[in-house]
Amino acid sequence: MIALADCNNFYASCERVFQPWLEKVPIVVLSNNDGCVIARSNEAKKLGVPMGAPAFKFEKVFEKQGVHVFSANFALYGDLSNRVMNTIRQEVNCMEVYSIDEVFMDFSDVSLLKEKALEIKTKVKKWTGIPVSIGVAPTKALAKVANYYAKKYVKQGVLVLENPSYISRALKKLPIGELWGVGRRYAKFLTQRGVVTAHDLVSLDENWVRKNMTVAGLRLVQELKGISCFDIETTLPRKKNICTSRSFGRKVKSHKELKEAVAAYATTCSQKLRAQGSCASLVNVFLTTNPFSIHECQYQASRKIQLSTSTNDSLEIVKAAIKGLSAIYKEGLVYKKAGVIVSDIVPQQQVQLSLFDGVDRVKRKYLMNSIDTINTRIGRDKVRLAVQGFDRKWRLKQEHLSPCYTTRFSDFLTVCL
């Protein structure tokens, strides 16, 4: 048996941990730049605020209904996620952290399924303040189904789907679009053919599923029939692509500002590479104007720069990224977003050196180590390249940011007795 623990309205719950008077008050959390709604408390859902809604279209609703608005605080959410995962790690032999707010747990050696799930749920709430729901079932896809019902209809927040007749009943009531692996496109495609519940999907001919939904669809169908196709992955694989991109908080036109932004993104990509012990040999830079500004001139471009030797050195990656940027930059346009993607990633022990390489890689490695150590200790970007800029007017808009209660000394809560 596999259990799936999923934090309820995770980002909204994180904000509530440190502002408990917001319990029962509608909350929304906005994406970077305070752009879209990316998390809602149950109260906000009831007010009809949809997921992904542009915030500016709902400003009046927020004001009128007393909705508390937060800018995304990923430092806080990441830290609380770690606390939740570490709490659960003590309770199970084997688990897979599937996303920032979800974890699959191996329950194969658990005899009292419901009791164990309840115990975990209670402990996580007590230790971290985060409410979770837990679904238990024979496969991952069915655990997702169990979790869906646990969160939505079960007061205790825990549901075990083991008995075949229960499973069948659950699938008959589950709308096709709620299934894990069925997105908007497939939901529409299937609905048009009369497949409206998970049960309808499972009843289809497997060859038809294979042909129309690829092997991914076939695996899903088998999982729903109780045949396991997805194992619990305990080691997290190295990323094959790493991307850092942001929309700008204001209009950006100049090459200089874009250069600062691209240099900053390339630096972050390099840090992420070093953190997972990898090197990359392809650096891709991209730029876009605002696709929603229909009256302004539109432009999207990208440029790939191939490096002769794989690297995770900030200086080299920034240099390549800026070279790419200069090749695609056009004057007179208003840019909205830029980003850097590094790929062709290999473990850093397996880098193929070039005969004509002019870089002292040993020395550079020490330099990067020192920079990472200093920045970890005294703060992000305390040591940085001059090209990353100082005033950084292009950076994010974050007008409703909560304190980093758990990751920044100056933001610690003060309790007055």
Partner DNA sequence: TCTGGGGTCCTAGGACCC
Question: In the complex, which residues of this chain contact DNA (CB under 7 A)?
Answer: 31-33, 35-36, 38, 52, 54, 56, 98-102, 144, 179-187, 214-216, 237, 239-247, 251, 265, 272, 290, 292-293, 336-337, 339, 341, 396
What are the counts of helices (DSSP H) followed by strands (DSSP E) for the chain? 13, 12
Q: How far is the CB of 53 from DNA (least distance, A)?
A: 8
**Least gap, CB of 7 to DNA (angstroms):** 9
The per-residue DSSP string of 113-162 comes to: HHHHHHHHHHHHHHHH---EEEEEESSHHHHHHHHHHHHHH-TTSEEE--
User: Cβ 242 to DNA, closest distance in Å?
Assistant: 4
Least CB distance from residue 244 to DNA, whole Å? 5
Of 74 and 366, the one with the shorter C-beta distance to DNA is 74
Between 75 and 243, name the residue whose CB sits nearer to DNA: 243
Task: Give 1 or 72: the residue with its C-beta nearer to DNA.
Answer: 72
Measured from the CB atom, the residue of 93 and 293 that comes closer to DNA is: 293
Cα torsion 319, 267, 397, 37: sign: positive
CB of 300 to DNA, least distance (A): 11
Distance CA 306, CA 320 (A): 8
Alpha-carbon span 202 to 195, nearest angstrom: 10
CA distance 291 to 305: 25
Cα separations (Å) of 272 from 26, 112, 261?
35, 41, 17
CB of 111 to DNA, least distance (A): 28
**In the complex, least distance from residue 415 CB atom to DNA, rounded to whole angstroms:** 33
Of 17 and 243, nearer to DNA (C-beta) is 243
Residue closer to DNA by CB (options 187, 196) is 187
Let me know: does 325 contact 300? Beta carbons within 8 Å.
Answer: no
Strands 102-106 and 132-137: unpaired
Closest contact distance (angstroms) between CB of 115 and DNA is: 26
For CA atoms 226, 228, 234, 238, give the dihedral sign: negative
Q: Of the two residues 178 and 359, which places its CB atom closer to DNA in the complex?
A: 178
Is the separation of the CB atoms in 183 and 213 below 8 Å? no
Closest to DNA by CB, 110 or 289: 289
- Greatest C-alpha distance within the chain: 68
- Helices 206-224 & 184-192 angle (0-180, nearest 10): 120
